[in-house]
A and B are shown apart, each in its own frame.
Chain A
């Protein structure tokens, strides 16, 4: 069984995995980081989005061994010292979540959008979210939340 080592939310971790173990399984099952969710089996829904070396990645579509040596950030690692990340705060402020299941992936994906494009317009936000499915909100308040976060992160 191969062993993998990586840094997850700033903590060095090591674990034995099967070759076929997905990164999301390693996070959920080996590390008990259950904030990252699995909502489909075809890499469409985006509930599993985490950051690997700073980029958003669908952790259901990456083997744990591929993340060997990587820096991984999950939803659990986004808030710092009990302070919500501006994106998390903006989702709360704008009612950008209902059942909460897609939310971790949605937030991680949105954070990466603003890294790449700090000032997206509504169309760019909606297009970026193509890989994240939400069944509850109709996206209206998610879009508003991302706009709010973009404004607050600039300010």
Chain B
């Protein structure tokens, strides 16, 4: 392994610009003559718009225009679509009420978009916005998931009776009932998967620009997938030709899912740029992020696990109600179905699983993918159930998992919930995690804590996830409106350097480094000769963006395929130059050699020849520039075991995470440093969910947790240093043998944390977040019960 090749912890190429203040985020960009947009938002969760008086705002200093829903309607601007059709248990498509970028007749959540004021400065736009008079007729709100589906709940959309978006099932209920009838023991849990607000540190922003000379648009956006944004805006919302819109997503300050979607603000900025004939810039503030970024999670679940007398799993039944919010965000419908229910087998051989998911509209912000997207919710169900089962059956929590693990020889393994796992070794991860945490030493550590008056607990989470969602034909048959391939272009320049264009998007993942390593290693080049370009539909052929930990498994595989094409063509040029047969030319570490001779040519010489083809094969095109598309054969299945150890002070309810061991199997790893960083960040978000974060709406639909003073983000002193280990089984179906690592921590951590805290407290269950107040109450209730 070279010090910059595959497997090396290469320091990141992107860091210099970020560390010296030279990153270029959307809000850092200013276009000549730009105007500023301010959105007038609904203060009500549910109200009829009886009238809007914008006369005073239009007369305000600096104001160029004030637009409302009717203005967009007059221009035939469409609804923001949901790109995944879920078919319900009766064979009908989900309810899909319209979602207009600016509300037309009604507002449906606090923060819903009512008008946009465009002015010469942001302060002028905001001041004028405060003079827009909206005559609302307030309506009762369906604000909480628990009651949204009841017959007495106010109706969010006339198109969705009972607020039901869909009632969906997976698996055979009768078979599940039969398995439960044979059970020696049934464990039941009721779980709330708390609603979260993603909170990428860079708030969303957009600049729409119109060029009258070419009748074309440019949109700068904080997007995780600029190509898809282009497609949605052109084909579904604005009715533009797709070759007339360029979307640029420059440096993006974190996404975690929340920047996948097509939002109202960027739609309005693009549309309005032509109306006002000037670039229109909007930069969200944090308050707007809280109210109008797509939120995550928000499930209520009743789950049951049937076991024989040895703790062998016989069947599982899961009923979940999932919150869609007021409108369907771009992929909302798929999250609690195909990305959740399909993962409920976990790492186990549970033979029968039946899942029923009802998704509800509520008068809250839209809910969509957030780091893990369905898979953290699934892991939380499975790993809470298994942990409670172990306690009820009095079986060691590691042992009950081992008894039920899918064994290495059982792969490929068809689960009862549609997925076929290609490979894994779950016991290997468990063994390593137990060693790292020193599981045998836990009783002594617990006793030492008790001697200090502290409660110590240990919690397991053996997770599985499905990454790189694909193949396109399968996801299409399940309702996806898009293909889930990825593209790459690898272009040699005449002087031997390489530009790599990828349709994935990096917003913290370090693709510029990892993909450079991959290309440098494959083509035998110095890493500094490789430049990775992403985030611009004007320069990158096509792309599907970054989410679902797909970038390396799908995008990297496309790059690998493009490199193969480069080598293949180069061999023909090398054979010509060295007067040999193509079959006799070998390639290794950047050099082409004729077998059994000392003739050789470097790949840089070949590239030069390709662009200066004075002595060149007759039947070959000049140039060395190859594009590849890769459509995976299957998902990839990263897995692992996380073990959390906590110590609780029963006097204060403070929980300290005293140790955290993460053992993950991501298949082959290109850059271990980057992978470990992804694990750390994921765990922090999972611990945030388990101990700190919860988005709360009151019964009237007001967001009570709308700032960093009310919504508790994980700070440095809430978290420990983590111990990360790895096991490896290479993915069997992509050329790199890689799986994906971006979401694992967030998937594993909530169950590990709650399992550890409940273990310390000697109870079976508690809801997230385990705040000090809640833990204190439980600790003292526990103390009283013990007396």
Q: In the complex where A39-B201, A100-B251 touch, is A130 in contact with B717 (Cβ < 8 A)? A: yes
Cβ of B14 under 8 Å from chain A: yes
14 additional A-B pairs beyond A35-B22, A101-B23, beta carbons within 8 Å, are A20-B123, A28-B28, A39-B201, A41-B287, A95-B676, A100-B15, A102-B201, A102-B253, A129-B716, A132-B716, A135-B199, A136-B681, A137-B684, A138-B682
A20 to chain B, nearest CB (A): 8
B674 at interface by CB-CB < 8 Å: yes
Cβ of B677 < 8 Å from any Cβ of A? yes
Binds A, one of B352-360, B507-515, B756-764, B779-787: B507-515
Given A98-B681, A107-B19, A135-B200; A40-B25 close (CB under 8 Å): no
A-B contact pairs, 20 of them (CB 8 A): A39-B286, A41-B287, A41-B707, A44-B707, A76-B22, A92-B11, A98-B510, A100-B14, A100-B23, A100-B253, A104-B18, A107-B19, A130-B717, A134-B716, A136-B508, A139-B680, A139-B715, A140-B680, A141-B680, A143-B716
- CB pair A95–B677 under 8 Å, yes or no, is yes
Question: Are B721 and A122 interface neighbours, CB within 8 A?
Answer: yes
Tell me whether A97 and B256 are in contact (CB under 8 A): no
Chain A residue numbers with a CB within 8 Å of B23 are: 35, 100-101
Tell whether, in the assembled complex, residue B21 and residue A33 are in contact, meaning their CB atoms are under 8 Å apart: yes
A103 to chain B, nearest CB (A): 5
CB distance from A114 to the nearest CB of B (A): 15
**Nearest-neighbor residue (CB-CB) of A82 within chain B:** B20
**8 Å CB interface, A104-155 against B:** 104, 107, 122-123, 125-127, 129-130, 132-144
How distant is the Cα of A137 from the Cα of B252 in the complex, in angstroms? 15
Mark contacts of B19-53 with chain A using CB atoms, 8 A cut-off: 1 yes-contact digit, 0 otherwise.
11111110110000000000000000000000000
Closest to B289 in A: A40
Most buried by B among A45, A75, A101, A141: A101
Q: Chain A interface (Cβ within 8 Å of chain B)? A: 18, 20, 28, 33-42, 44-45, 47, 74-76, 78-79, 84, 88, 91-93, 95, 97-104, 107, 122-123, 125-127, 129-130, 132-144
Interface centre among A75, A76, A93 (most CB of B within 10 A): A75
Contact present for B721 and A101 (CB under 8 Å)? no
Question: With contacts A95-B677, A127-B717, A138-B681 known, is A101 near B28, CB below 8 A?
Answer: no
| One of B253, B708, B717, B745 near A129 (C-beta < 8 A) | B717
Contact across chains for A47 and B201 when beta carbons are under 8 A apart: yes
Q: Cα distance A125–B680 when bound, in Å?
A: 17
Residue of B nearest to A44 (CB): B708
Contact in complex: B719, A133 (CB < 8 Å): no
When distances are taken between beta carbons in the complex, the residues of chain A under 8 Å from B20 are 35, 75-76, 78-79, 84, 88
Q: Mark B650-693, 1 if CB is under 8 A from A, else 0.
A: 00000000000000000000000110110011111100000000
Size range of the chain B interface in the assembly: 35 or more
Distance, CA A125 to CA B28, complexed state (A): 30
Q: Tell me, in angstroms, the Cα distance from A134 to B722 when the chains sit together.
A: 16
Q: Which residue of B lies closest to A103 (CB)?
A: B18
B-side contacts of A74, CB under 8 Å: 21
**Contact of B285 with A by CB under 8 A:** yes
CB closest residue in chain B, given A74: B21
Report which of A47, A99, A125 forms a contact with B507, defined as CB distance below 8 A: A99
With an 8 A cutoff between CB atoms, is B555 at the interface?
A: no
Residues of A within 8 A of B18 (CB): 97, 100, 103-104
Contact mask B197-236 → A, CB, 8 Å, 1/0? Answer: 0011111000000000000000000000000000000000
A34 to chain B, nearest CB (A): 4
Within 8 A of A (CB), among B697-714: 707-709, 713-714
Residues of B within 8 A of A138 (CB): 680-685, 714, 719, 722, 745
Give the shortest distance, in Å, between A104 (CB) and chain B (any CB). 5
Shortest CB distance B720–A (Å): 8
Q: B12 an interface residue at 8 Å Cβ cutoff? A: yes
Chain A min CB distance to B358 (Å): 31
B125 to chain A, nearest CB (A): 15
A140-B722 contact given A37-B253, A41-B286, A133-B713, CB 8 Å threshold: yes
* Chain B residues whose CB sits within 8 angstroms of the CB of A143 once the complex forms: 716, 721
Contact of B508 among A18, A98, A104 (CB under 8 A): A98
Q: Give CA–CA (A143, B199) in the complex, Å.
A: 21
From B11, B23, B199, residue with most partner A Cβ within 10 Å: B23
Listed from nearest, the 4 A-B pairs whose CB atoms lie closest are A35-B21, A101-B253, A100-B18, A138-B684
Supposing A100-B253, A136-B681 touch, asked if A45 and B201 sit within 8 A by C-beta, the answer is: yes
Asked if A134 and B201 sit within 8 Å, CB to CB, the answer is yes
Q: Tell me which of B15, B202, B716 contacts A37 (CB under 8 A).
A: B202
Q: How far is the CB of B454 from the nearest CB of chain A, in Å?
A: 17
Across-interface contacts of A42 in B (CB, < 8 A): 286, 707-709
Inter-chain contacts of A144 with B (CB < 8 A): 721
Q: Is B397 an interface residue (CB 8 A)?
A: no
Chain B residues closer than 8 Å to A88, beta-carbon distance: 19-20
- Name the A residues within 8 Å of B708 (CB-CB): 40, 42, 44-45, 133
With A95-B673, A101-B202 already in contact, the answer to whether A136 and B286 are too (CB < 8 A) is: no
In the complex, how many angstroms separate the beta carbon of A30 from the nearest chain B beta carbon?
12
The answer to whether A104 and B285 touch across the interface, beta carbons within 8 angstroms, is no
Among residues of B, the one whose C-beta sits closest to the C-beta of A36 is: B21
- Inter-chain CA distance A52–B684, complex, in Å, is 32
Verify A40–B202 contact, CB threshold 8 A: no
B676 → chain A closest CB, angstroms: 8
Q: Are B202 and A39 in contact (CB under 8 A)?
A: yes
**Which chain B residues border A37 with CB–CB below 8 Å?**
25, 201-202, 253
Residues of B within 8 A of A100 (CB): 14-15, 17-19, 23, 251, 253, 508
Q: How far is the CA of A28 from the CA of B721 in the complex (A)?
A: 34
A11 to chain B: closest CB distance in Å?
15
B15 near A101: Cβ-Cβ < 8 Å: no
One digit per residue, 1 when the CB lies within 8 angstroms of any chain A CB and 0 when it does not, for chain B 466-509 equals 00000000000000000000000000000000000000000111
- Identify the closest chain A residue to B14 (Cβ): A100
Whether A97 and B19, one on each chain, are in contact in the complex, defined by CB atoms closer than 8 angstroms, is yes
B286 touches A45 (CB 8 A): yes
- Would you give the shortest CB distance from A152 to chain B, in whole angstroms? 15
Assess the B685–A135 pair: CB atoms within 8 A: yes
Q: In the assembled complex, which residues on chain B have CB atoms less than 8 Å from the CB atom of A134?
A: 201, 716
Please, which residues of chain B bring their CB within 8 A of the CB of A79?
A: 20
Nearest Cβ distance between residue A2 and chain B, in whole angstroms?
15
Q: Which residues of B contact A34 (CB under 8 A)?
A: 21, 24-25, 27-28
Pairwise interchain contact A135-B201, C-beta atoms closer than 8 A: yes
